[in-house]
Amino acid sequence: MTNTTSMNEQRNRGRIFGYGVIALAAVALTVSALQVDRHPRTDDATVRANAIAFAPEVQGRLTQLLVKDDQVVHKGDLLFQIDPRPFEHALAQAKAEQATLEGQIEDERRRIAAQQSAVGAARAGVTGSQSSISASQGAYLAAQAAEERARAAQVSADAQLHFAQNDYDRLAPLLVKHYVTTQQIDQAQTSVRVAQEASHQAASQLLQAQAQVSMALAAKQSASAGFTASQSKLGEAQHTVDTLETLEAARPGKAAKVEQAALDLEWCSVRAPFDGYVTNMNISQGAYAHVGTPLFTLIDTSNWWVLANYRESKLKSIRPGMHVQVYLMEHPGRRYNGVVDSVGRGVFPEDGAVAGGLPAVDRTLNWVHLSARFPVRIRVLDPDPEAFRIGATAITVVR
């Protein structure tokens, strides 16, 4: 009887202990579920960082390759150098072409100055011809006036001669009859001779005046011809004056060529734009580098983040700015601090297929519906460049 009672008590205590374990497990499960709901965690996370594939801007032979795979480099370090000699020659040639153009412009400027001087001389010739025309016109008018005066003088002298001759012819017959004296006859003859001389002088002066008119007319015509010739020379000189527009229009092109050659020469030496690691090295010194063909990849070690995929049911507890604990699978005992940068706003839907312009809906139905996962970007505040690797698995806990 005693043994039976003892066994019953042991069974009761076992049941109580079992119930207690079950209750504790239920409480622990509930607390764990609440903690997981309040502090979502996931091991579906990978480490990310900025990385650039280094491809040369110019092509040529690699004369220096100063880095190797997985090497640490610092900002400003020389990574590799392409043979600069062809680009130095191109820069010198571009500068020479620019200097030649400037020399051509200067020579053309001197030639244009000479042409403009010729235009000035031709314009002065036109002005001189105009003055000659004015002077010859004045001389011609003066000669015509002198001719008119000489003709009037001749008419007057002829009239005096006619009068003196008539007077002598009237007195000469009266001398025989002693109606006039010999002195009167002598005076009449003298008057005739004086009148004849005056008539001869007037005729001579008229001929001289007519000659001067002819000469003035010739001078006027010559001045008119000179004016026409001067105008022709001025027009010719004006048409031969060139401009610098064509040569000066080539200046920007030559300057751009020099700048491009200088830039190509600068691109021969490639330096690190930031601190980082060299990876995926697939070329060696002496190889021929091509434009746009990557030589290696440089990982930026100054900024690291983790891309964690959380179930959509946990997103209500995740907001930008929240603190996150980050663990790396390679170093599970070391904790890093992070902050939520952003929560993904969309993923590609599995049932988003389109056929014939219409949505394609599967006729089958999955009884178990899996929740979607959305990426959460977490910026690591205290990364260790020695421990972090792109693509490494991480565990994140949002606090």
CB atoms inside a 10 Å sphere around CB 381 = 13
Angular region, 357: left φ>0, alpha ψ -120 to 50, beta rest: left
Alpha carbons 116 and 106: distance in angstroms, whole number: 15
- Nearest Cα residue to 230 out of 137, 121, 113: 121
Answer whether residue 311 shows pLDDT above 50: yes
251-266 vs 85-176: helix crossing angle, rounded to 10: 160
Alpha carbons 331 and 394: distance in angstroms, whole number: 9
List pLDDT tens digits, range 7-51. Answer: 666 666 777 777 677 767 765 565 454 555 567 989 999 999 999
Angular region, 157: left φ>0, alpha ψ -120 to 50, beta rest: alpha
What is the rounded average pLDDT of the residues 316-339?
92
Q: Phi and psi dihedrals of 262, rounded to 5?
A: -65, -40
Answer whether residue 240 shows pLDDT above 60: no
Element (H, E) at 38: helix 2-38
Architecture (CATH level 2) of domain 38-83+268-398 = Beta Barrel (2.40)
pTM for the full predicted model: 0.56
- pLDDT of the residue at 366: 66
- pLDDT of the residue at 241: 47
In one-letter notation, the amino acid at residue 239 is H
Q: Is 222 strand, coil or helix?
A: helix
Provide the total of helices (H) and of strands (E) in the chain, helices listed first.
Answer: 5, 14
Percent of the chain with pLDDT over 70: 78
- Nearest Cα residue to 197 out of 232, 168, 163, 158: 158
Answer whether residue 53 shows pLDDT above 70: yes
User: Tokens for 298?
Assistant: 């440089």
Integer CA distances (angstroms), 34 to 27, 30, 300, in order: 10, 6, 38
Average confidence score pLDDT of the chain: 80
List pLDDT tens digits, range 187-238. Answer: 767 777 777 777 787 777 777 777 777 777 777 777 677 767 666 665 665 5
What is the rounded average pLDDT of the residues 292-306?
91
List pLDDT tens digits, range 269-278. Answer: 999 999 999 9
Q: Where are the beta strands (DSSP E) in the chain?
A: 41-54, 60-65, 72-73, 78-82, 269-271, 276-279, 288-289, 296-311, 323-328, 335-343, 354-355, 358-359, 373-380, 393-398
Alpha carbons 66 and 295: distance in angstroms, whole number: 12
Instruction: Give Dmax over CA atoms of the chain in angstroms.
Output: 233
CB atoms inside a 10 Å sphere around CB 232 = 12
Answer whether residue 322 shows pLDDT above 70: yes
- pLDDT of the residue at 75: 92
Domain 89-249 maps to which CATH number in 1.10.10, 1.10.150, 1.20.120, 1.10.1220? 1.20.120
Burial of 320 (0-12, 13-18, 19+ CB in 10 A): exposed
List pLDDT tens digits, range 143-180. Answer: 777 778 877 777 777 777 677 777 767 767 776 676 66
- Nearest Cα residue to 376 out of 312, 333, 328: 312
The alpha carbon dihedral of 31, 34, 40, 44 has a sign of positive
- Nearest Cα residue to 236 out of 102, 372, 115, 60: 115
Band the pLDDT of 337: cuts 50, 70, 90.
very high
- pLDDT of the residue at 196: 74
Alpha carbons 257 and 255: distance in angstroms, whole number: 5
More confident site: 76 or 136: 76
Alpha carbons 29 and 76: distance in angstroms, whole number: 55
- pLDDT of the residue at 364: 67
Alpha carbons 362 and 202: distance in angstroms, whole number: 138
Q: In what side-by-side order are the strands of the sheet with 60-65? A: 269-271, 78-82, 60-65, 288-289
What is the rounded average pLDDT of the residues 78-84?
93
What is the rounded average pLDDT of the residues 276-301?
90
CB distance 347 to 374 below 8 Å: yes
**Which stretch of 76-80, 170-174, 237-241, 260-264 has the lowest confidence by average pLDDT?**
237-241
Confirm whether 38-83+268-398 and 89-249 share one CATH topology: no
* Residues 6+ away with beta carbon under 8 Å from 295: 54, 55, 56, 80, 281, 282, 283, 289
The domain ranges of the chain are 38-83+268-398, 89-249
- pLDDT of the residue at 145: 78
- pLDDT of the residue at 4: 66
What is the rounded average pLDDT of the residues 114-121?
69
Instruction: Kindly calculate the radius of gyration of the chain based on its CA atoms and give it in whole angstroms.
Output: 61
